[in-house]
Structure 1
């Protein structure tokens, strides 16, 4: 179903390439989301 994401990906890439602030929050997609968190039980 990648075709339905095409328009927003194009918009975000154009904003980023022009040095603009993206119109959508991209923080949930940062590489930091894979950092291990310590959980104590």
Structure 2
């Protein structure tokens, strides 16, 4: 039970890290598209 609670607490941290990673990739792709023009 305690392990499950700790896992639930970790979810927001993992999600925020994953979201920031996606934003970085999106910015990189957007810069590539702008540079190709």
Taking structure 1 as the reference length, the TM-score comes to 0.42
Tell me which of the two structures has the higher relative contact order, counting C-alpha pairs closer than 8 angstroms and 6 or more residues apart.
Answer: 1
* Larger helix percent: 2
Taking structure 2 as the reference length, the TM-score comes to 0.45
Q: Bigger radius of gyration, 1 or 2?
A: 2
